[in-house]
Amino acid sequence: MRVRRARAVTYGVVILLAGAVIRATPRLPDGRSSSERPAALRGTTAPTAPITHRPVIVGPSLHEDTLARGESLGAVLARGGVSEVVVREVMRAASQLDPRRIPAGMRVVTRAEHPDSTPSEIVLYLSADRLMRLRRSGPSWGGREERAPWRTDTVAVEGTVHSSLYAAMHEAARGVLPASARQQLTWTLADVFEYRVDMGRDLQPGDRFRVLVERAVSPAGSVRVGRLLAATLQQSDATHEAIRFESRGGASYYDANGKSLRAAFLRAPLEFRRVSSTFGLRRHPILGILRAHKGTDYAASSGTPVRAIGDGVVQRAGWSGGYGNVLEIRHPNGYVTRYGHLRGFARGVRAGARVSIGQKVAFVGTTGLSTAPHLHFEVLVGGVHRDPRSALRDKTGFPIPASQRDAFAAARSRLLAALDGHAPSVAMAGTPFARAN
């Protein structure tokens, strides 16, 4: 009896709990409970929006690869998914190519109408401005060599000298010009100002330069520098400008006043300049005594060409004690330049010979009292030694003809505006101007 009563109580509790659960379950508008909601709609308060599929736009498929060293062109094409049959046809079309002359690293671009279709065009970038274009016409392939045009834009480079012009240019033009082009631009800038500034001696930390130069970019991505259009060099005691202007006599560089940057003398006798000792007192490297150093020493490799810094007549070319092989040139207005420790002299350079500004006259050596290859350079005015830096600072040049002054002024304004008036940003080829900081 007691067992039956306990079972009845238990069944009653279960029934009461089940009823409570049923009453607590929310109903949907259609009378179903939420537990009966389709699985796709559980956890949402409203039906989800239908999913729409956008059509994929099918365009030409492009595949690019690079020829590895020792690899064949057929292997590159096969790696790109080109079938063996097509590879044979393409190689026949490119039969005029000498496999031994195909450069490693050559870009190979394959184009097809659809990702999985047979290629319709293959382009081989043989050099910076030369390519071979292979095209499929029906079942056959044909090829022709083309000269790819270079794209030209103009870039402005601005930098500050901390250690050398090379280092400053390398940092300023990073990302705009490759290393070889940066080096070339450094040489060009030094050449433009060589009548006014000795880049090996006159530059000091804090000097600033700005350059506007043409840049050419090939379809393969090679970069080279073109004409230097304008430049400024700001030093502590002077600001120099160089404006390229084409007159009836050809293109040349002029300063802010329209005077030619060419003067009576070059500022340095070497094209590649690095100063090892300056004008003044110094301890002689061999004799070990303190004595006046009456010139400038330019450290350079043996055999480096030496230039005459101005027009003149050779008055000595031979051996002279501690100078070793020495060359003396007499210039107008009482100027004499002396070049010492030479390895030898250029052909035809002897006493009485006439030489012109910039002419190769001798070669750097280490003869006489010298510890290493270098050029010892002196300037005498009226028989008295002068510091070459000040003695050669001749700023006179031929001016722009009066009939062309207005045209020069307009060109100067335009080029300096291009140098000044652009935000400091880097833009690649295709934009009118870009700036590098």
CB of 132 within 8 A of CB of 87?
no
Partners of 127 in the β-ladder: 130
| 283 token code pair | 């301890």
Q: Which helix (H) or strand (E) element contains residue 343?
A: strand 335-345
pLDDT number for residue 288 = 45
Best mean pLDDT range from 150-159, 337-346, 382-391: 337-346
167 — phi, psi (to 5°)?
-65, -40
From 297, 371, 278, 393, select the one nearest 339 (Cα to Cα): 297
- The residue to which tokens 């040349």 are assigned: 252
User: Is pLDDT above 50 for 185?
Assistant: yes
pLDDT number for residue 427 = 35
For 426, which DSSP code?
-
pLDDT number for residue 327 = 98
Question: Lowest mean pLDDT: which of 148-157, 217-226, 296-305, 428-437?
Answer: 428-437
pLDDT number for residue 272 = 52
pLDDT number for residue 5 = 56
Average pLDDT, the chain: 77
Average pLDDT over residues 189-205: 87
Best mean pLDDT range from 76-80, 190-194, 395-399: 190-194
Best mean pLDDT range from 119-133, 136-150, 155-169, 417-431: 155-169
* Alpha-carbon span 233 to 245, nearest angstrom: 18
Buried b (16+ CB within 10 A) or exposed e, 156-186: bbbbebeeebbebbbebbbebbbeebbbbbb
Comparison of pLDDT for 139 and 257, the residue scoring more: 257
Angle between helices 179-192 and 165-172 (to 10 degrees): 130
* Alpha-carbon span 230 to 223, nearest angstrom: 20
Could you tell me the strand order of the sheet in which 140-147 lies? 61-66, 107-112, 121-127, 130-137, 140-147
Confidence label for 396 from pLDDT (cuts 50, 70 and 90): low
Confidence label for 201 from pLDDT (cuts 50, 70 and 90): confident
Domain(s) labelled CATH 2.70.70.10 in the chain stretch across 275-391
Compute how many other C-beta atoms are within 10 angstroms of the C-beta atom of residue 59.
Answer: 9
CB of 207 within 8 A of CB of 235?
yes
CATH number assigned to the domain covering 151-263+413-436: 3.10.450.350
For 201, which DSSP code?
T
Comparison of pLDDT for 419 and 212, the residue scoring more: 212
Confidence label for 66 from pLDDT (cuts 50, 70 and 90): confident
pLDDT number for residue 339 = 97
Give the architecture (CATH level 2) of 61-147.
Roll (3.10)
Domain(s) labelled CATH 3.10.450.350 in the chain stretch across 61-147, 151-263+413-436
User: Is pLDDT above 70 for 437?
Assistant: no
pLDDT number for residue 29 = 37
Helix segments in 301-400, DSSP class H: 388-391
3-state SS string for 6-35:
HHHHHHHHHHHHHHHHHHHCCECCCCCEHH
Compute how many other C-beta atoms are within 10 angstroms of the C-beta atom of residue 134.
Answer: 20
pLDDT number for residue 45 = 32
Average pLDDT over residues 132-139: 85
pLDDT number for residue 368 = 93
Fold of the domain spanning 275-391: Glucose Permease (Domain IIA) (2.70.70)
pLDDT number for residue 98 = 78
From 358, 329, 370, 364, select the one nearest 345 (Cα to Cα): 364
* Alpha-carbon span 62 to 428, nearest angstrom: 23
Confidence label for 395 from pLDDT (cuts 50, 70 and 90): low
Share of the chain above pLDDT 70, in %: 75
pLDDT number for residue 318 = 96
